[in-house]
Amino acid sequence: MTGGGPYNKGGHTQMGTKVLLHIYDLSPSNSFLYPVGLGLHHSGVEVFGAEYSFASGAGVFDSSTPRDAGPGAQFRETYELGIYTGSMSELRGAISEIKDQGFGPDEYHLIRRNCNHFANAFVWKLLNKPIPAHVNRLAEIGVCCSCLLPKKLMEQAP
C-alpha cells in the first residue's frame, strides 16, 4: 500500500470501504444547542468516495465532493460508522430500494422525512445500525410538537 496506510480514496480497505457520516450545521444556534444534544443538522453518508444525501425536489443524490454540502451548511464533524463489504452494484441496489421506500424527490418533509432520516435508512441498509440519535433529535421533538410549529414551516423545505 502507498501513502496513507491501508486506505485509499473513499476509505476503501482490503476488507471493504468505510461508511462515513458527515454532519453539517444549518444554524448558528447549533453552537448553543449541540452541547445539550440538539441542533439543526444536515447529513450525508460517504461510501466509495461519494457522499449520498436527500433533499426536497432532488430526492436522493450523490456528490463527488464529500464534506461540501453547499451554501448555508457548515461542516461540523464526521463519524466513522463501520465497514461496508458489499459491491458498488449492491450499493446502487440499496439506494434504489430506499428511493422506493419514500425517499423520492417530492417526499421530503422537514420533520418527518429529511436528509437525516435518509442517512439513517441508508446506514441501516448498509451496516444494520442507526446513525447517532442526536443528529435528528430536533426533528423527532418536532414530530411530537408539530401542532405548535407554524404551518408555513411545515410546508416548506429548506
- The mean pLDDT value for 82-89 works out to 96
Q: How far is CA 144 from the centre of its chain?
A: 22
The better pLDDT of the pair 109, 46 is held by 46
Residues 6 or more apart from 90 whose CB is under 8 A from it? none
**pLDDT at residue 138, as a whole number:** 64
pLDDT(5) > 50: no
Mean predicted lDDT score pLDDT of the chain: 81
Backbone angles phi, psi at 134, to 5 degrees: -65, -20
Catalytic residue positions, numbered: 42, 115
Q: b/e per residue, 94-103, with b = 16+ CB within 10 A?
A: bbeebbeeeb
Cβ distance 75 to 59 under 8 Å?
A: no
pTM score, two decimals?
Answer: 0.80
pLDDT(134) > 90: no
Q: What radius of gyration do the chain's Cα atoms show?
A: 16
Cβ distance 94 to 48 under 8 Å?
A: no
- The mean pLDDT value for 90-103 works out to 94
**pLDDT at residue 72, as a whole number:** 81
Q: What is the 3-state secondary structure (H, E, C) of 36-67?
A: HCCCCEEEEEEECCEEEEEECCCEEEEECCCC
- The mean pLDDT value for 94-109 works out to 90
Cβ distance 43 to 116 under 8 Å?
A: yes
pLDDT(123) > 50: yes
Q: All 3 cell numbers of residue 10?
A: 473513499
Q: All 3 cell numbers of residue 2?
A: 502507498
- The mean pLDDT value for 89-113 works out to 89
pLDDT(143) > 90: no
**pLDDT at residue 86, as a whole number:** 95
**pLDDT tier at 111 (50, 70, 90 boundaries)?**
confident
